[in-house]
Amino acid sequence: MFRKYFFSLTLFFVIAVSLAAQPDKITFSEWELVVRNQSFPEGITWDNNSTIYSSNCTGGWITRITDNKIDTFLIASDSTFGKTNGMIALSDGSLLACDYGNGTIVKFSNTGKRRIILSGYENKPFNRPNDMTLDKDGNLFFTDPKSYGKDKLDGRVFFYDFKNKKLTLIKDSLAFPNGIGISPIDGKLYVCESAKSRILSFDISEKNELFNKNIFIELPGGDPDGFNFDINGNMYVAHFGGGNLYIISPKGKILHKIKTPGKKPSNVEFAEKDRKTLYLTEDETNSIYKMNVSIPGFKF
């Protein structure tokens, strides 16, 4: 009887270790077209209710998709904004946005009224505000690239404390910083350094300073652009120019390389009530697509 018990216990242990050693089993559907005739779509964001918003970087309008109904939320002449890129839909129905046309960070009410949150740094407009993310306390991190090139180290990352209304330059000398986000697993800040085809990670101090810069992963053959995390900390990265969506584990291992409908995917967002629908903006086809995924997206 002892031998039988020992065998069963050993078998259980082997199975448990084997399962623990396997990466997350992520399944996904084929891409489905949501909308055509966009103009360099980017900055896609979900309002945690019923609506998806997406920038049109070269077109000067914001697309709104509610319960599969597609319309225009804002056009430039309606609100005097320039050209938006990264955006975040807030719980009060408003939108935070990178206005790279005017070099500002703006907020739109749910009726489209604009308010400038940040007009620049050291009495100058920002260069080209690109993408943004919030931490668990609702404070803002955003990227501000300028020139594109491996040797053009004029990109920056800023932090804004909404409560104290304090703006801080927390990182400079980057080669076109782009997508940005905070991992739900290790709490690090991840930044796509697009011109060097890599993603960096930084620890965040209690004073919201960045330290321990590391290369998380290199993705040659294109630019890592916008990304998002699922609840297990896997990163879903749009590989602009490479024509793929990468799913990368928290340890920097590529779990899946999924071909996208065009060669220029730019950003991704988890949406719907279960956060198992992944939306993709794609700039070669100027369209938005979606797929179903098995692991829900993460949101603070």
Q: State pLDDT tens for residues 10-67.
A: 433 333 333 334 445 999 999 999 999 999 999 999 999 999 999 999 988 999 999 8
State how far the alpha carbon of 268 is from the alpha carbons of 146, 247, 260, 273, 277, in Å. 23, 12, 12, 16, 10
What pLDDT shows up at residue 75? 81
Q: Can you give the pTM of this predicted structure?
A: 0.91
Task: Give the residue carrying structure tokens 């002449």.
Answer: 77
The contacts of residue 130 (CB under 8 Å, 6+ apart) are 85, 86, 98, 100, 142, 143, 144, 145, 177, 178
Q: Under the phi-then-psi rule, with left for phi > 0, alpha for psi from -120 to 50, and beta for the rest, what region is 40?
A: left
* Tens-digit pLDDT string for the chain (300 aa): 434 433 343 433 333 333 334 445 999 999 999 999 999 999 999 999 999 999 999 988 999 999 889 999 988 766 666 789 999 999 888 999 999 999 999 999 988 889 999 999 999 999 999 999 999 999 999 999 999 999 999 999 999 999 999 999 999 999 999 999 999 999 999 999 999 999 999 999 999 999 999 999 999 999 999 999 999 999 999 999 999 999 999 999 999 999 999 999 999 999 999 999 999 999 999 999 999 999 999 987
Fold of the 2-292 domain: Neuraminidase (2.120.10)
